[in-house]
Structure 1
Amino acid sequence: MNLPATYEYYAVIPHRTQPAVLLLHTENGWSLPCWQTTERHFWQTCDHINQTIQDLLALRVITLRCLFINQDTGSGHFIRVYEFENRDAQWRPPVNGSWIGFSEFKTLPLTHQMQRAVLEAWFTEQMEGIPTTRRAWARTGWFDETARWIVEILQGQAIEVSEAVQQVRTWERSCLLRVATTYGQVYCKAVPAMFAHELPLTQHLDVHWPSHAPSVLAVNRQQSLLLLRNFGGPKLGERGIFAWWEEAVHTFAMLQRETVTHADSLIAMGCPTRTLDDLIEDIRALLADTETLFVGGKGLTNSEIAALRPHLSHFLNLCQELKTYQIPYALEHGDFGPANVAWVEQRPLFFDWSDSSVAHPFFSLCLFPEEMEISFPDTSDWQMRQRSAYLRPWVCYESLERLTRAFEIAQRLAPLHHASRYHRFILPHMEAKWEMTLMIPAYLRCLL
């Protein structure tokens, strides 16, 4: 019998006014506050972490960022280390705890040597200063300022807040907050500059396709904040109802087709433009970047890289062939899948448009077919039905036969489109590149 995976958490909790960190004395040495659990959470999810520290230490904290992850899938043991904002000025350490500065830390025996490397880097940053690239939500004070803005906006709309604002998730891609109100749950999403177009785009979708887009309560362009009403309903991936998936694909294609006439507006509001000519250059740059493909031994193997590169000319020829079809550029989601589709009032609702661009629309279905195959193993004709549902709205541009061929080409090129998006638009703007660097080899393995 397989034992459940164990998750070991460590907390870097700083003193509010001094460059010192909380360490607890144990019989085996000094340690950051830590605990183990078999509960599985995505590492970006932090509400349960904040609550655990409240329960263990009676201390209110906000998660700033994840500092270290070690995932041993073979043994099922996972280690995660996070940095926190200490939000309680009156709090005092327990009897076995002390605030430890850098000079004292260097001489203390630690229970786990992993902690030494993490804390040395943390103390160095305290002395040298926080990098200018650090996300706003990973800085002390951001949460309280944002929570005040949320409450002010809601009160201005006669919506009463019934509970304190809670932090739900945080990483470099975004931070998500939640608050209970008389209007139901309300969510606030903060995004970095590279995804700033998601704010006006979501507003645009709410205006033009309100049945299939989140309801926007407010936008703060200066702070890159998006305040959304909870749309409720299950996510597509939480329900094994094939008709819902089929309808979602069809409706999404119709929405994309309608955005063709909105392309100039989408570009004007900041949506990246990614033409097939751009993709040709991006593919060349991506496949030539050995360091990005290899990821220090964690990405593609040397043999996988060697197997992929000889296909460069084939990929470029496919781009040229796809250009011969009269399919216009439209809104491409960038991360279209059952996790980003909700089923609300018997209709699909599409959300999380951070990775979107104006590009070849067929690239959006990169991973959706694989998800359908996994979710509906007993539906033998799922592939034909999915393709038919998606392509029907496009017959005004090409015959179904030619659309089918264009779809096949786009499915082959889609992993390159998405991998090159990370290579060109996302990873260069990330401080903790480890959070997303494995996305490139993951997409490229779809081609092998």
Structure 2
Amino acid sequence: MSAVAHVALLHDGKVLVIDGRLPELEVDEDVAEHEDERFTWALDLVAADVYLAPMLRVEKDRYLDIVGCRALPVPDGTWVTPTELADPAVVELMARTLPELDEPPTLRPAWFHRGWYDEVEAWVDGELAVTGRRRTGVMRVSRVWSISAVLRIPTDTGDVWFKGSCDLFRGEAGLHRVLAEHFPDVVPELIATDDSRGWLLMEPMRGAGESDRAPGADVALAARWGDVQLASLEIIDELLAAGAPLRGADVTVAGYRRVVSESRELAQLTPEERTALTAVTDEVEQMVHELWDCGLPNTLDHGDLHLGNVAYDGSVLRVFDLTDACVSHPILDGYHLAHFDDRRPSESALFAAFAQPWREAFPDAQVDRAAELAPVVNLAFQADTFHRIALATEPASAFELGGVVAYLLRKVPAAVAEARR
């Protein structure tokens, strides 16, 4: 499915137009890698380097990117006031958004606030200097949205990467630091962190994209992650102190009950779907508690373990994007990995490789029953995750992950029925 992004380069209250219109680009939303590439394309289209506001939705399959030139020269061209644009929907959206650049609304992430890039730049330059390096050019946006900001930074020894997390996931930096101390070969190599601001500065990774990731990443990850989780049992207190949320049975049940009682996306379900969902709520709660009673302890949980969050060059494996990391039930990661993408070896083979270390370490645990319960509990767990994100996201950006909670909830009744067998 393709979508159109109108790109408004803003300078001194005017926007750049070509033939009387905002420059625009077409993006194939069905190609996963384009989710990040579209940000770079939009900036390159008008020779800009920063997003001034979140990506905005004009209407279905049509978006507006308001960008600026912070460190790059403002290009020559035809400049008009936003009210002179021919598209009434874009004019209306810009009229609502431009005042927010000076007074950002509640929940708007810091990277859309004035002065944020200056703070990041000063911090990055200082941390690079400690390592004997220096920045050699403009920090370039890889992705900026409601959850995180990712920047590529050129240095005299090659690019490095910066990530900042929203307030909901600010603990990622401290958590990443702890994991880098104990498992330096499994997470991105850190240059520095600022735990209080949720900032990470990282070395580049090979094999992080779908186009250059080596074959066999799923098998390598399945075989390695269970071992990492087992080893993390020794540092649970450190993980919690660093900011990892504890998401045990009671927390998962409470979170799921909030979803099915207050999520805005319940309105996307049909009356029949809502009735079926309500009918199994108590069973979901029972299955959550049964999973935690299967004999395995809470441990490090990535929270969103799939190949899109793995770099693999054929020998080195690194797991990144620890935004959702927490302390929870280990089987949830294994199930999520095995069932996230159909373009992989058999689900049973992946899960078996992941679970083997757990079977050996806890021979009396009911791992097979845990695997039967995992489809239901993972849906409840993920629905809770995305509901938390929705509550922490400003309304104008709700479309970014809109529909995910409804999608998950629709699958719950059938998963419960399967787990009963």
Which band: TM-score by shorter chain? 0.7 to 0.9
Of 65, 68, 79 in structure 2, the residue corresponding to residue 97 of structure 1 is: 79
On the 8 A contact 1:167/1:178 being kept in 2, the answer is: yes
Q: Which amino acid aligns with 2:330?
A: P
In the TM superposition, structure 1's runs of 4+ consecutive aligned residues that sit over 6 Å from their partners are: none
- The 8 Å contact of residues 247 and 389 in structure 1, kept in 2 or not, is answered as no
Q: Provide the rounded CA distance (Å) in 2 between the counterparts of 1:120 and 1:358.
A: 44
Cα RMSD (Å): 2.8
- Residues 395-441 of structure 1 show CA distances to partners (whole Å, capped at 9, x for unaligned) of 24543782111122123210111111222x32222213332232212
Superposed CA deviations along residues 367-392 of structure 1, whole A, max 9, x for unmatched, are: 322345x213xx5xx23322221111
Q: Are the equivalent residues in 1 in contact too, given 2:53–2:101 (CA < 8 A)?
A: no
For residue 13 of structure 1, give the secondary structure of its aligned residue in structure 2. Answer: strand
**Which residue identity lines up with residue 122 of structure 1 in the other structure?**
T
Match of 2:44 among 42, 46, 51: 51
Which of 5, 25, 42 matches 1:9? Answer: 5
| Corresponding residue for residue 53 of structure 2 | 65
In 1, Cα distance between equivalents of 2:124 and 2:214: 36
- Counting matched residue pairs gives 407
Establish whether residue 214 from structure 1 lines up as the match of residue 188 from structure 2. yes
> Does the CA contact (< 8 Å) of 1:163 and 1:180 recur in 2?
yes
Gap change, CA 1:149 and 1:118, over 3 Å in 2? same
8 Å Cα contact 1:237/1:339 also seen in 2: no
Please tell me whether the aligned partners of residues 236 and 341 of structure 1 are also in contact (alpha carbons under 8 angstroms). Answer: no
CA distance in 2, matches of 1:44, 1:311: 41
Alignment of 1:30-429 (within 5 A): 31=21, 33-37=22-26, 41-42=34-35, 45-54=38-47, 60-69=48-57, 78-87=61-70, 91=74, 94=77, 96-99=78-81, 105=83, 108=84, 110-125=85-100, 129-235=103-209, 241-242=215-216, 244-289=217-262, 291-294=264-267, 299-344=268-313, 346-372=315-341, 374-376=342-344, 382-396=346-360, 398-399=362-363, 402-423=366-387, 425-429=388-392
Q: Which SS does the other structure have where 2:57 is aligned? A: strand
Matched, 1:433 2:408: no
Q: CA deviation at 1:310?
A: 1.0
1:49 is aligned with what amino acid?
A
Distance 1:24 1:228, change over 3 A: closer
AA aligned to 2:392 is: H
Q: Please, which moves more after superposition, 190-199 or 358-367?
A: 358-367
Partner SS, residue 197 of structure 2: coil
Q: Deviations over 1:229-260 (max 9, x none)?
A: 01223557865734x42231121111111112
- Tell me the SS of whatever aligns to 2:154: strand
Q: Report the 3-state secondary structure (helix = DSSP H, G, I; strand = E; otherwise coil) of the residue aligned with 1:233.
A: coil
Q: Secondary structure at the match of 1:12?
A: strand
Contact 1:391 1:400 in 2 (8 A): no
Secondary structure of the residue aligned to 1:51 is: helix
CA contact (8 A) 2:335 2:371 kept: no
Q: Is the contact between residue 22 and residue 98 of structure 1 (CA under 8 Å) also seen in structure 2?
A: yes
Partners of 1:266 and 1:384 in 2: how far apart? 30
The TM-score, its normalising length taken from structure 2, stands at 0.86
The whole-number CA distance in structure 2 between the counterparts of 1:67 and 1:181 is 28
Q: Kindly provide the CA deviation profile for residues 162-191 of structure 1, in whole angstroms up to 9, marking residues without a partner as x.
A: 443212111011111112334432100011
Are the counterparts in 2 of residues 45 and 170 from structure 1 also a CA contact under 8 Å?
A: no
Query: Structure 1 regions of 5+ residues with no counterpart?
Result: 55-59, 73-77
Instruction: Tell me which residue corresponds to 1:57.
Output: none
Q: 1:397 to 1:70 in 2, by over 3 A?
A: farther
The answer (yes or no) to whether the contact 1:327–1:397 under 8 Å persists in 2 is no
Q: Does the 8 Å contact 1:273/1:359 carry over to 2? A: yes
* Structure 2 unaligned residues grouped into runs of 5+: 415-421
Q: Which structure has the greater CA radius of gyration?
A: 1
**SS of aligned partner of 1:355:** coil
Give the distance between the partners of 2:354 and 2:241, measured in 1 at CA: 27
Q: 1:70 Cα deviation (Å)?
A: 5.7
TM-score normalised by length of structure 1: 0.82
